[in-house]
Structure 1
Amino acid sequence: MRGDTRTLIPFVAMVTCIALAAGCQSTSEQTGSVDGTTIPWATVPAAQSGGGAAPHPPDPPPPTDPNVGPGSPGPPTPTTPGPTISGIPFFPHTALVTPPVPGVTASGVHVERHDGFDRIVYDFGGTYAPGWRAEYVAEATQRGRETATRINGRSILQIYFFDTDSSAESGIAAYNGPNPLSDPAAYSVVEVHLTPNYERGTQSFVGLRTDYPQFQVTTLTEPTRIAVDIHD
């Protein structure tokens, strides 16, 4: 009986080692982003970022002279240097004030199905688009929160919009449609989450049906919008 026990111990140890090796291999091959495991960065499309489309500020009005009536030429340009500062002459001039750039708010989002890709379109009131960064993340964690939001899908793409404002600051009505948003005609996009503006930033999390598909972010015009194309 003792001999059988000595024979059984090495056999059990060998089975245990095989099981542990199989378990380690399974863990290293996990790629899910929904359950918080490690993302295989070597096979994931790289992050993309861009400056959006800033508005062209209006030309400043020409300097006016209260002693000159409408339609009359303005004051002549001085040709003689004025007083000097530290021995350096300067020419008097009228300061040009550039008006501040108005803020924007995420006012709309929808999903479109195209041949070979799904397109997510973000609107910011149609005036101009903010800067952005798009990248895959392991979990959907909103700024200012400690717990992640559950996103349906096999992978999560985050689009972060910079320098956004609340509706009270920008005067643009914020998006108030379905959140998360889904479209039965979409192939890759399962759902789109859009977070409220927080500390001049807005996040969007996109749950995708497959593992880390290729994507492309572009700025559309007339009106100005940001489009995220998810390829099949």
Structure 2
Amino acid sequence: MTRRALLPVCAVLSASLLLTACGEATSPAASTSAASSSAAGGDGGEGGGVPEESSAPRTDEEVATDSPAPSFPADTSPDTAQASPDALVTVTDVRTGRHDGFDRVVLEVDGAGTPGWDVRWVDAASSQGSGAPVVVAGEAVLQVTVTGAGYPYDTGVEEYAGGPVAGQGTGNVTEVVFDATYEGTTVAFVGARAEAPFRVYLLQDPVRVVVEVADAA
């Protein structure tokens, strides 16, 4: 009687041990699967995952990488572009930066449409409307005229009201002096150590007119 009662118990224990062993055998596979899932997640690591989108604003350098700027022109001729028909923008910020072989000047704008520009080397800087001389540090002056511009009371955008912007570790650009908005155009003067080739293009989000001046020869 006692010996017969023990047989089913042993069978149950054997089955239990077998199931436990099977569970332990499959545990590494489950761990591997979890690790693979983590590597394919949104942390942007080398596991091939897609990085999570950052809410931080992108820098000019990051945005410019999306669409490489054209090569510098072979000369210092004026550079012009038409504003969109609905353009009515106001310059909100002016800044400078240093890059390998050139300096960057950024005029950020806000408002409707996209601005155009007329950028050229001039003999001297003079204010719009009045014609009064504008003092700009440097041996050469690059006049940057943004077209499709409007007064703040027309665009609803506060205009840049800062003083001259010094070059930040720049090689050729000495400073940028913001002049004024007058009859649909806004002018700023870029002082430089010497005239050099330059290029102008537009960046979006936010909209910026970018002027890049090559190092002096």
Q: Deviations over 1:148-200 (max 9, x none)?
A: 112110110001112211111101111122x2111341111101011221122
User: Which residue in 2 is equivalent to 1:66?
Assistant: none
The count of aligned residue pairs is 142
Once superposed, which parts of structure 1, at least 4 consecutive aligned residues long, lie more than 2 Å away? 126-129
Report the equivalent of 1:153. 138
Q: Is the 8 A contact 1:128 1:225 kept in 2?
A: no
Report deviation, 1:208.
Answer: 0.1
Indicate conservation of the 8 Å contact 2:140/2:193, yes or no: yes
Q: Residue type of the partner of 1:230?
A: V
More displaced stretch, 130-139 vs 146-155: 146-155
How large is the RMSD of aligned CA atoms in angstroms? 2.0
Matched, 1:195 2:162: no
Q: Which residue of 2 aligns with 1:206?
A: 190
Following superposition, the deviation at residue 126 of structure 1 comes to 6.9
Aligned counterpart in structure 2 of residue 225 of structure 1, from 201, 208, 211? 208
Greater helix share, structure number? 2
Question: Which residue of structure 2 lines up, in the alignment, with residue 48 of structure 1?
Answer: 79
Shift of the 143–186 alpha-carbon distance from structure 1 to 2, 3 Å rule, reads same
Give identity over the alignment, percent.
30
| Aligned-partner Cα distance in 2 for 1:51–1:144 | 22
Task: Find the counterpart in structure 1 of residue 110 from structure 2.
Answer: 125
> What displacement does 1:147 show?
2.7
Deviations 1:61-119, CA, capped at 9 Å, x for gaps: xxxxxxxxxxxxxxxxxxxxxxxxxxxxxxxxxxxxxxxx3621111111011111111
| Structure 2: distance between partners of 1:142 and 1:44 | 26
TM-score w.r.t. structure 2 length? 0.60
Residues 128 and 180, structure 2, Cα contact 8 Å, conserved in 1: no
Task: Report the counterpart of residue 162 of structure 1 in structure 2.
Answer: 147
TM-score normalized with structure 1 length: 0.57
Specify every segment of 5 or more residues in structure 2 that has no aligned partner in the other structure, as ranges: 1-73
Select the structure that is richer in strand. Answer: 2
Retained in 2: the 8 A contact 1:126–1:225?
no
**Alignment-derived partner of residue 176 in structure 1:** 161
| 1:19 aligned residue | none
